[in-house]
Amino acid sequence: MSGALPARASVVVVGAGYAGLTAALALRDAGVDVVVLEAADRPGGRVWSVPHPRAHAVDHGGQWVGPTQTRLLALADRFGCARFPTHDEGSHLELWHDGTLHEGTSERDSTAPGHAEYAAAVADIEALAARVELDDPAATPDAERLDATTVASWLDGVPEVARPRLALAVQGVWAVEPRDLSLLHLAFYVASAGGWDQLMRTRGHAQDQRFVDGAQAPALAMAAHLGDRVHLSTPVRAVRDGLVETDRGTVRAERVVVATTPPAARAIVFEPPLPAPRRRWLERSVMGDVAKIHVVYDRPFWRADGRSGQASLYTAHDLPGVVFDNSPADGACGVLVAFVYGDRLRTWAALAPERQRAALLDTLGRLFGAAATRPTDLLVQDWVADPWAGGAYAAVPAPGAWIEYGEHGWRAPSGTVHWAGSETSSLWHGYIDGAIRSGERAAAEVLAALDHPARGQEDS
């Protein structure tokens, strides 16, 4: 996958994440001469499954798929990538902000307070989401006020008892703090996923299933299918009048699809320069802060205690925001995955490595008992340190950005440069499924621009 670069190709795709690979596969299936240039030494981007002797495959990035994420499911089926249900049986824990521990079979029936108030606030968000224009959020009724309102200031108006759950939801889904997110982007994202529950819940929703061999499996299969059209360890530095410049040479192309995160796109030099709205949009698109920590045990001991392994922590001083059972499909060992994001990640990053580990295990011990303090392995992936993603899960436009630059800057092609990436999708924006949809859209744009008839998919 990393041979000599061709001197020219009809289309160059920048980035071999799900968006870029999907665009390339659609173009290849249509008979277009396409080349994928990927900076990292692996395909998959923000989805990265690492083999583990006991946990089979550890998903350091995106991992879950839900029933309405139909493009990812179709891709997985095309390449025969097996899935299994996320472990969801048993009681979930809630560590309330006063330090008391609560249990319930869902976040709606735990013994912690505030369920009715939370449900009422969610209903308000759903009402906003129902009005969002998915293909042009800036055209949503009342968009200017919604984009000028941060979720933090909106939270000031909801009953205090509902705020911990809503704040944790924002941190958990966007990996930012409520002060970083506008009400318009929140409503857009909820609409994009098909509702609040789709984002938050497990069975039947976004966290429904996992991939037996890790969520990178379909990306690896796509890259293998594209074969020597994919060039790894080939960072693109500039796109000058159709000449794509990399660390390993240049490729001349009629069209270029840039399928990176917004900060990674910003780091590429474009000549002619990108139109001002696109440049400003990229500058205002800020990646979230998240680390994903896998803690491996001999067995999933919490299941025998009637626990699901899921926990939500509302205490500001505890490092993870949520914990899930991430044990492998074959049950060869037990795995808990802890998500550390936003302010919590900044606190974590300031600690010495041994303090980081001790703080995390102390919290897991309080949740699941002393056995949780004795893992056999602990693996940390801090996405803020990833040179090509620049953060995760996705970019969040700064408050006001949709109104100021969304209409012209979000995803409209810039001359012969087309834009893909999960951040450019109307549906499942920020998710793998959204990345795939964006790749399909960009490929369709390119085919139309090249006046190339779309062909049916080839099987080879």
Query: Which residue among 290, 323, 336, 403 contacts ligand FAD (CB under 6 A)?
Result: 290
Here's the x/- map for ligand FAD, 383-412, by CB under 6 A: it reads as x----xx--xxx------------------
CA within 13 Å, CB half, 404: 16
d(CA 371, CA 447): 57
CB of 86 to ligand FAD, least distance (A): 10
Q: Residues touching ligand FAD: how many (CB under 6 A)? A: 40
Six token digits for residue 255: 């069209």
Instruction: Give, for 71, the enclosing helix (H) or strand (E).
Output: helix 70-78
Closer CB to ligand FAD, 284 or 429, in the complex = 429
Taking alpha carbons only, the member of 17, 14, 71 closest to residue 440 is 71
Six token digits for residue 170: 């924002």
What's the order of all strands across the beta sheet hosting 334-341? Answer: 101-104, 91-95, 307-313, 322-325, 334-341, 290-297, 377-382
Give the DSSP per-residue string, 418-439. EE-SGGG-SSSTTSHHHHHHHH
By CB under 6 A, residue 236 contacts ligand FAD: yes
CB of 199 to ligand FAD, least distance (A): 10
By CB under 6 A, residue 37 contacts ligand FAD: yes
Using an 8 Å Cβ cutoff, are 182 and 138 in contact? no
Percent of the chain as helix, strand, coil, to the nearest 5: 40, 25, 40
By CB under 6 A, residue 235 contacts ligand FAD: yes
Q: Dihedral angle at the C-alpha atoms of 439, 442, 447, 448, nearest 10 degrees?
A: 150
Closer CB to ligand FAD, 237 or 455, in the complex = 237
Here's the x/- map for ligand FAD, 254-283, by CB under 6 A: it reads as -----xxx--x---x---------------
Stretch that binds ligand FAD, among 55-63, 115-123, 154-162, 358-366 (CB under 6 A): 55-63
CB of 152 to ligand FAD, least distance (A): 23
By CB under 6 A, residue 64 contacts ligand FAD: yes
CB of 15 to ligand FAD, least distance (A): 3
Distances (CA, A) of 398 to 31, 90, 189, 403: 40, 39, 14, 10
CB of 159 to ligand FAD, least distance (A): 30
By CB under 6 A, residue 244 contacts ligand FAD: no
Using an 8 Å Cβ cutoff, are 321 and 339 in contact? yes
Taking alpha carbons only, the member of 440, 444, 435 closest to residue 65 is 435
By CB under 6 A, residue 18 contacts ligand FAD: yes
Stretch that binds ligand FAD, among 60-68, 137-145, 273-281, 328-336 (CB under 6 A): 60-68
Taking alpha carbons only, the member of 286, 244, 237, 278 closest to residue 261 is 286
Cβ neighbours for 199, distance < 8 A, ≥ 6 positions apart: 169, 173, 189, 190, 193, 205, 206
Here's the x/- map for ligand FAD, 187-226, by CB under 6 A: it reads as ----------------------------------------
Here's the x/- map for ligand FAD, 112-151, by CB under 6 A: it reads as ----------------------------------------
d(CA 439, CA 420): 5
By CB under 6 A, residue 432 contacts ligand FAD: yes
Closer CB to ligand FAD, 9 or 389, in the complex = 389
Here's the x/- map for ligand FAD, 341-380, by CB under 6 A: it reads as ----------------------------------------
Closer CB to ligand FAD, 17 or 90, in the complex = 17
Stretch that binds ligand FAD, among 33-41, 96-104, 116-124, 152-160 (CB under 6 A): 33-41
Q: Cα 259 from chain centroid?
A: 14
By CB under 6 A, residue 40 contacts ligand FAD: yes
Chain residues binding ligand FAD by CB under 6 A are: 14-20, 37-40, 45-47, 61-64, 235-236, 259-261, 264, 268, 290, 292, 383, 388-389, 392-394, 421-422, 430-433, 435
